[in-house]
Amino acid sequence: MRIIGGELKGKQIFPPKGFMARPTTDFAKEGLFNILTNLYEFENITVLDLFSGTGSIGYEFVSRGVKSITSVEMNLSNFKFIRKTVAQLGLKESMHIIHHNAFDFLPICKLQYNIIFADPPYDIDKLDTIPNTILSYPILKENGIFILEHPAAFDFSAHPNFTKVKNYGNVHFSFFTAITPNAPF
CATH number of the domain to which 80 belongs: 3.40.50.150
H/E element, 117: strand 113-118
Tell me the sheet residues that pair with 116: 48, 146
Structural domain includes residue 182: no
At 184 the pLDDT is 40
Mean pLDDT, residues 159-167 taken together: 96
| CA–CA dist 73, 66 (Å, integer) | 19
Domains held by the chain: number: 1
At 15 the pLDDT is 87
At 54 the pLDDT is 93
User: Quick one: pLDDT band at residue 75, thresholds 50, 70, 90?
Assistant: very high
Which residues, including other chains, have CB under 8 Å from residue 87's CB and lie 6 or more apart?
Answer: none
Taken in order 111, 112, 117, 120, the sign of the CA dihedral is: positive
Structural domain includes residue 1: no
Structural domain includes residue 158: yes
pLDDT reading at 185 higher than 50 = no
Of 20-29, 73-82, 137-146, 160-169, where does mean pLDDT reach its minimum?
A: 20-29
Structural domain includes residue 122: yes
Range of the domain at 129: 46-177
pLDDT reading at 9 higher than 60 = yes
96-129 pLDDT, tens digit each:
999 999 999 999 999 999 999 999 998 899 999 9
pLDDT reading at 179 higher than 50 = yes
| CA–CA dist 103, 79 (Å, integer) | 16
At 64 the pLDDT is 97
From the CA atom positions of the chain, what is the Rg in Å?
Answer: 15
Structural domain includes residue 10: no
At 17 the pLDDT is 80
Structural domain includes residue 159: yes
Q: How far is CA 5 from CA 38, 60, 114, 160, 179, in A?
A: 14, 7, 20, 33, 30
